[in-house]
Structure 1
Amino acid sequence: METKIRKPRGATPDAFELTVAQELYAIEAGSSEMRAELRDLFILAAKDMDVGAGRRAVVLFVPFRLLRRFNKVQKRLVNELEKKFTGKHVVIIGQRTILGKSYTRSTKTSGPRPRSRTLTNVHEAILQDIVYPTEILGKRTRCRIDGSKTLKVFLDHKDLNSVEGKLDTFSQVYKKLTNKDVAFEFLEES
């Protein structure tokens, strides 16, 4: 069970994170078809978020280097975890690092800040992770007169049935992680 959650040195997992790690271990032990795929996978953190209207979501933070392997089994893993955590949606997000504008490299490794570590790129990647496996077809930023901004995200219409019930959860999780408003819509097929 301890192999399913790895915290930074000195940090200990809380009770909820241990529960999630235990469920991941149970899924791995109980399913022979997922055993090989889940054997080397682990999470870094887990959060239980309130997404409004008395609903909650489980957000799993995984190492970025393991994110693609999680994506291969994400559909089955999310279904199993949603059965275990009744009434909660499960979202898997890759843990990424944001480097500030004042970032300077050491003399050994000179060069500018990588684009993948900028705030904008990390927030876009979080949005991709939240809606995975649905494909984002487009984005628009709506600026209101009062100065507030809302990001409109257009999703693929073929995934309407599988994702429609989770859109409120997706927008609330994104709001809590990035402090940005987002609205999801489906593009009609033309």
Structure 2
Amino acid sequence: ASLYELFFVGAKEVDVQGKKAIVIYVPVPQLKAYQKIQTRLVRELEKKFNGKPVVFIAQRRILPKPTRNSKRVNKQKRPRSRTLTAVHEAILEDLCFPAEIVGKRVRVKLDGSKVIKIHLDKSQQNNVEHKLETFTSVYKKLTGKDVTFEFPEFVL
């Protein structure tokens, strides 16, 4: 892979149960190229940063929902990829990259709070299981949503 063209837009430190995790933002067009080398790159960066967990996320933009009485005249319709929901879904996909999301459940508790349960592919369990707390706290920090990850035994 030619690493020359690859660059990242920004980086951020996030607290994970007393430790710090590093979130690296990459341009959306380069995300595929990053994901090809992500496992090796993450391993090397974690060595360099004294074992701090490293995650790669594409830098995406959320456009506000157009309102009826908005002063700004919209020349174009807002694309689906710029909606809040689409961006949050995409962040989740990027976050647990080597593992694939096979299912999703939203649990609404009696007090009205929501917890999203993410079912990950069991074939990648040994690759990402040690990072699940990192994924949870990074997603909470970036989107404000509570999420738990699990590896279901069977999928209907």
Same fold, TM-score > 0.5, yes or no: yes
Q: Is the 8 A contact 1:64 1:95 kept in 2?
A: yes
Q: Match of 2:118, SS? A: strand
Q: CA RMSD in A?
A: 1.3
Bigger-Rg structure (1/2):
1
**Which one scores higher on RCO, CA 8 angstroms, separation ≥ 6?**
2
1:143 counterpart (104, 108, 132): 108
> Match for residue 51 of structure 1?
16
> Match for residue 105 of structure 1?
74
1:88 counterpart (27, 30, 52): 52
- For 2:40 and 2:97, the matched residues in 1 are separated by 13
Q: Report deviation, 1:97.
A: 0.8
> What letter matches 2:125 in structure 1?
L
> What letter matches 2:148 in structure 1?
A
- For 1:37 and 1:58, the matched residues in 2 are separated by 23
Q: Is the 8 A contact 1:55 1:87 kept in 2?
A: no
Q: Match of 1:142, SS? A: strand
Matched, 1:72 2:47: no
Give ranges in structure 1 of 5+ residues lacking alignment: 1-35
Q: Report deviation, 1:189.
A: 4.2
TM-score (norm: length of structure 1): 0.76
Q: Is the 8 A contact 1:56 1:87 kept in 2?
A: no
Give ranges in structure 2 of 5+ residues lacking alignment: 68-72
- For 1:57 and 1:116, the matched residues in 2 are separated by 27
> How is 1:166-177 mapped onto 2 (pairs within 5 angstroms)?
166-177=131-142
> Match for residue 123 of structure 2?
158
TM-score (norm: length of structure 2): 0.92
